[in-house]
């Protein structure tokens, strides 16, 4: 039987739909994502922690869910908003329906709403705090008022340090390589891996680690709050700064550690939150964006070559190009809104990219940045 659900926004907008996940209540920052594929990777991306994801593509769930495509231990998003949940999932790789997957993870979802109207609100007004009520919570007198109150009670992501919340608790080794059809994920422990990379886990996606491992990197993943002294004691050839959720500015522990590592001239590569933290550690500033960048079709220009790449994006904060100090230079820029997408240090071997070059299922235009990181480690040797 259909169960009711309500999505309420802090601006007073209310949407009535059908519950497709767990019953109950959830709140977070509501954002829209324009990707047409990869809903499972989106849901399990730790960068979406405390965010309710609206997918603009109308039919979501038509290929089901499988255990190979997750990017973390489980769903990270606070909730899911879609237009239509197909009655049938059709894929030879499907192991579970999207609805059952949401329920098994105790994550709320709402379908059968006008996601075009919702996207216009988010585009025009910016990301909104919102709440979903599903099942019995969405029934009865006062349900709309409860949903609005929950939406307005969410404090917002500005000033929220989530990296330490989603990070691993103890260091671990990573040995899984990239996926191939009919073969699954490669066993990276069987290939030659001459470079030892210590990866800071601020909410890392697994495909980042897979792509590094497949390029000859022996990976040690460490918690977000690991001091630089412990990382340097591992004698790494390179240090990787992972993606993650929340505001980068409160992550003082990470900024301090990155500054100390940069002084050693060990190659450093950052993605997403790691990009923003490298900027902060180098003396730049970050800003909260209006509605952020979320999707798999964002054009970004390489400022050195002039080449335009189609990229996967997921961020609500950005490094402020106007604040770059003399030892930082811009390398990439968004062609959607002109925001900074890449930087590199001019005084030490360190660079970063705002988007996701490891994008799974795609696009893969920016994946050569992993090769650049490996080349930097080779040159240092």
Q: Which residue has the tokens 């980042």?
A: 208
For residues 247 and 275, the answer to whether their CB atoms sit within 8 Å is no
- Say how far apart CA 164 and CA 365 lie, in whole Å: 30
Match 């918690």 to its residue by tokens.
223
Taking the C-alpha atoms of residue 282 and residue 298, their distance in angstroms, rounded to an integer, is: 26
Q: Is 272 marked active-site?
A: yes
Between strands 328-334 and 340-345, the pairing is antiparallel
Please name the residue ranges forming H helices in 215-366: 228-233, 252-263, 273-281
Other C-beta atoms closer than 10 Å to the C-beta of 117 total 10
Which one from 71, 272, 293, 298 is the annotated catalytic residue?
A: 272
Candidate list 41, 71, 321, 358, residue with the active-site label: 358
145: left (phi over 0), alpha (psi -120 to 50) or beta: alpha
Q: Which of 275, 291, 293, 356 is catalytic?
A: 356
Instruction: Classify residue 250 by burial, with Cβ atoms within 10 Å: 0-12, 13-18, 19+.
Output: middle
Active site (annotated) includes residue 356: yes
DSSP H helices in the chain: 39-43, 98-104, 115-125, 143-153, 163-166, 206-214, 228-233, 252-263, 273-281, 368-380
In whole angstroms, what separates CA 71 from the centre of its chain?
A: 10
Question: H/E/C letters for each residue in 121-136?
Answer: HHHHHCCEEEEEEEHH
Query: Which 8-state DSSP code applies to residue 327?
Result: T
3-state secondary structure of 223: strand
Residues 291, 123: Cα–Cα separation, whole Å: 6
The residues annotated with a catalytic role in the active site are 272, 356, 358
């Amino acid at each position: 039987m259909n169960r009711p659900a309500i999505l309420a926004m802090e601006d007073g907008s209310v949407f009535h739909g059908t519950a497709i996940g767990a019953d109950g209540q959830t709140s977070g920052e509501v954002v829209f994502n324009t990707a047409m594929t990869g809903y499972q990777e989106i849901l399990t991306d730790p960068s979406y922690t405390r965010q309710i994801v609206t997918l603009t593509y109308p039919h979501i769930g038509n290929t089901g869910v499988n255990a190979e495509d997750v990017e973390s231990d489980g769903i990270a998003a606070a909730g899911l908003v879609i237009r239509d949940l197909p009655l049938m999932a059709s894929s030879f790789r499907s192991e579970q329906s999207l609805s059952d997957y949401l329920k098994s993870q105790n994550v709320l979802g709402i379908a059968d709403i006008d996601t075009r109207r919702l996207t216009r609100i988010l585009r025009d007004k910016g990301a909104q705090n919102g709440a979903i009520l599903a099942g019995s919570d969405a029934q009865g007198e006062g349900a709309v008022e409860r949903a609005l109150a929950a939406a307005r009670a969410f404090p917002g992501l500005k000033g929220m340090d989530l990296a330490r919340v989603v990070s691993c608790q103890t260091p671990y080794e990573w040995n899984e390589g990239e996926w191939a059809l009919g073969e699954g994920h490669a066993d990276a422990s069987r290939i030659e891996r001459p470079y030892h990379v210590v990866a800071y886990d601020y909410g890392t996606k697994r495909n980042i680690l897979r792509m590094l491992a497949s390029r000859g990197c022996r990976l040690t993943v460490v918690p977000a709050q690991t001091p630089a002294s412990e990382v340097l004691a591992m004698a790494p050839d390179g240090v990787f700064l992972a993606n993650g959720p929340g505001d980068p500015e409160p992550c003082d522990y990470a900024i301090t550690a990155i500054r100390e590592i940069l002084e050693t001239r060990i190659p450093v590569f950052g993605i997403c939150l790691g990009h923003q933290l490298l900027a902060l550690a180098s003396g730049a500033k970050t800003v909260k964006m209006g509605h952020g960048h979320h999707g798999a079709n964002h054009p970004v220009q390489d400022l050195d070559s002039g080449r335009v790449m189609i990229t996967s994006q997921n961020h609500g904060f950005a490094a402020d190009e106007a604040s770059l100090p003399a030892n930082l230079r811009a390398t990439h820029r968004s062609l959607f809104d002109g925001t900074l997408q890449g930087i590199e240090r001019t005084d030490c071997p360190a660079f970063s990219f705002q988007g996701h070059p490891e994008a799974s299922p795609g696009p893969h235009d920016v994946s050569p940045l992993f090769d650049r990181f490996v080349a930097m480690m080779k040159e240092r040797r």
